[in-house]
Amino acid sequence: MGDRGAAPKAHRRALRDEHGRRLRGGTLLVFPGVHAGPTLPARPRPPREPLRPPGRPSPRWTRRTGLRLPSGESGGLRGAEGRGVREPEPETIRRARAGDLRAFESLVRDYQADVWRFAYHLTRNRALAQDVTQDAFLRAYRGLASYRGQAKFTSWLLRIVRNCAIDAYRKTRHETPVADHAETAGEAERSATTPGAEERARIHDAIRRLPVSLREPFVVIEVLGYTYQEASVILGVRVGTVKSRMHRARAALMLALSEEEEAAGEV
């Protein structure tokens, strides 16, 4: 008789398999006994604030004024007020650990957006980010029986995402990189009419160009909204190292954006 906490084997199916669940990006996570049908409503999450509250003048990226990013520990690009990473209910985790597939589906729905976003910032490739997202949830599903709450669930999950991204890099590093467009045609059309979209695009493009050692903590803290302590768990480094890398990441972004601003002014 197997351990009650042991999860049944999950596997992949084609995009439109009638027994599958679509994850962000069109991939599927398939579990034995789970059939397609009406899904449970997702747990409400804190509203995300814009990069800059409406009505404020556009910041200038100059060496004199610097890059005006929020400097608080709790993150900036998602907003500093009323933000924070919401943890799942302990009962949901308990049920998922016991093999309740519905409970795990709830976790997937609640966190797949942040998982995909983190994977994309790490890989800088949408197709690869989809694979990393798929693999991370599969690995989390199989590892839930050994999760004992030694870290917050979200920190534990994103550490798995990072490990999957590292594995994906090792497998594909010798392959010829394929150009990845930052936006689809539909996203570009929507961005053209969204206030502040051009500014956000510039910042996110600059983030993509950061070295991975600086990009990781910046994305975890400023984009996803984790604290320095949580980032240290996710990245497997000391809090002091996270703070040092964040300082360097901010300085690098400040320099890149100010140089871009000055170059645009010379045209």
Query: Architecture of domain 19-30+87-173 in CATH?
Result: Orthogonal Bundle (1.10)
Query: Architecture of domain 196-267 in CATH?
Result: Orthogonal Bundle (1.10)
Distance CA 262, CA 132 (A): 37
Contacts of 225 (CB under 8 A, 6+ apart): 74, 75, 78, 83, 84, 85
Q: Which two tokens stand for residue 95?
A: 């049920």
Q: Which two tokens stand for residue 1?
A: 């008789």
Could you tell me which residues are beta bridge partners of residue 62? Answer: 66
Strand, coil or helix: what is 11?
strand
What are φ and ψ of residue 83, in 5° steps? -100, 180
Helix (H) or strand (E) holding 29: strand 28-29
For CATH 1.10.10.10, the residue range(s) in the chain are 196-267
- Per-residue pLDDT of the chain (267 residues), as tens digits, is 444 444 444 444 433 333 444 444 444 444 433 333 333 334 444 444 333 333 333 333 333 334 444 333 333 444 333 346 789 999 999 999 999 999 999 999 999 999 999 999 999 899 999 999 999 999 999 999 889 888 999 999 999 999 999 999 888 776 655 545 544 434 444 444 565 777 778 888 899 999 999 999 999 999 999 999 999 999 999 999 999 999 999 999 999 988 887 777 665
